[in-house]
Amino acid sequence: MNSSIVDHLGRAGRLDRMFVGGEWVLPETQTRASVVDPSTEEPVAEIALGSAGDAAAAVAAARRAFAAWSASPAQSRALLLDRIHALVLERAELFAQAISLEMGAAIDFARRTQVPSAAEHIRVARDNARGYAFVTHRGEMAIVREAIGVCGLITPWNWPLYQITAKVGAALAAGCTVVLKPSELSPLSALLFAEVMQDAGIPPGVFNLVNGSGPEVGAALAQHPEVDMISFTGSTRAGVLVAQAAAPTVKRVAQELGGKSPNLILPDADVARAVPGGVAAGFRNVGQSCSAPTRMIVPRARLHEVEQIAREAASAMVVGDPRSQQTTHGPVANRAQFHRVQEMIGIGIAEGAQLVCGGLGRPEGLSRGFYCRPTIFSAVHSRMQIAQEEIFGPVLALIPYDSVDEAVEIANDTVYGLGAHVQGKDLAAARAVAARIRSGQVHINYPAWNPHAPFGGYKRSGNGREYGIEGLEEYLETKAILGFQDAPAPAAE
């Protein structure tokens, strides 16, 4: 199936083309990049990389389409999103296979989580387009929420389809036109998504896709004067560069950046439930999630008990071939990330953290591929690098505390503020602690994922929000029309 994905994209002329103005067009240069299967370290495809000129052509197409699309009835935009949603679900297996190939997600995880969650973003955008009040009245004043304009959307490699649909769905629902630059490291699902957009009947120029590097295409979008907004998901370092490039044109910049999320285990928590759930959440997507709770903050008196439960939870994970049904965790997504994870595990050992399980190197029996051992450190304190820096891999730090006040202080002792978790039987106490944590989301006792919940960060985790109503509103401007009056009622006969 995986080879057929590449064969399909190749035969259809997708790998060497961009989707601009409703057509698959050749880029202006012949620059190519390899797509590497992280489970084998072997190239499986080559894609064309666009240039600043290609980005400019896509922006021009989006600008031409904007007037008509932004003026279209919200209900017609919802109908298009409904067709997109149906096609994503219809092609779910193709998307799952592509994601597993391009970034190493275990196929079961891709099928159960990566693709269905991505489809949910489109469904929510559709429903929001149908129900949102784009015009409200306040006395004789009208408050109009209208599309901000042409949006440059820059998405990462770790949740390739999920991040695309979160941005594209909300932007289209708002009436914006878009230029998407997906990660060049995981571009296959993006090309499949562009096919969905074409087959759904997207008007020419409303959606455009340009593959390319961040320094070339991403920077070109960020600084382009005809781009009204940039929505970026990625590292804090890259987000700073995007914001700097966008500053001279004073465009809106929405960013979802790094994280070092805490999971605070309160003294009354059921550790038999809280700890395995925390290990699973921290290692979800092989730890390659910006909101992964990679700092488990635990009562010092229960540290040894927590270590034992965490070790058992990690040992139950099956790391291996992502196409195997038995695999729970595949490789990390690329060579650079593999080296980053190995480097940070080495730093943790050198810092004197206690290794509970895992460590350097690949798991036993795996001699190639970007596989990492699920690693848990204990006796970690907040000054250690492994407690402060985002690792983006299967590495969890257990940090002991002596009082709840100290635990909250540890939870907030980070430059990030994207996500957080709190575990405890006393719900009132858990809510009180959640209120003290400085982050964009707080999860109490592992609730179900909610696509309506706004997602975004405090501090260096970014600005703006995605998902739900708040995600839609990021793509809207607010206009006040004073002296606006409702039409008079017809005279009685």
Catalytic site residues? Answer: 256, 290
CB atoms within 10 A of CB 19: 25
- Of the candidates 302, 301, 281, which has an alpha carbon nearest to the alpha carbon of residue 292? 281
Q: Is 45 helix (H, G, I), strand (E, B) or coil?
A: strand
372 token code pair: 């990492």
What residues are paired with 336 via a beta bridge? none
- Of the candidates 388, 407, 408, 406, which has an alpha carbon nearest to the alpha carbon of residue 397? 388
Q: Is 255 helix (H, G, I), strand (E, B) or coil?
A: strand
CB atoms within 10 A of CB 406: 13
Q: What is the 3-state secondary structure (H, E, C) of 67-131?
A: HHHHHCCHHHHHHHHHHHHHHHHHCHHHHHHHHHHHHCCCHHHHHHHHHHHHHHHHHHHHHHHHH
Rounded Cα gap, residues 7 and 16, in angstroms = 13
- Of the candidates 229, 266, 264, 269, which has an alpha carbon nearest to the alpha carbon of residue 249? 229
Rounded Cα gap, residues 455 and 33, in angstroms = 32
Q: Is 356 helix (H, G, I), strand (E, B) or coil?
A: strand
> Which run of H or of E encompasses 403?
none
- Of the candidates 136, 185, 126, which has an alpha carbon nearest to the alpha carbon of residue 160? 185
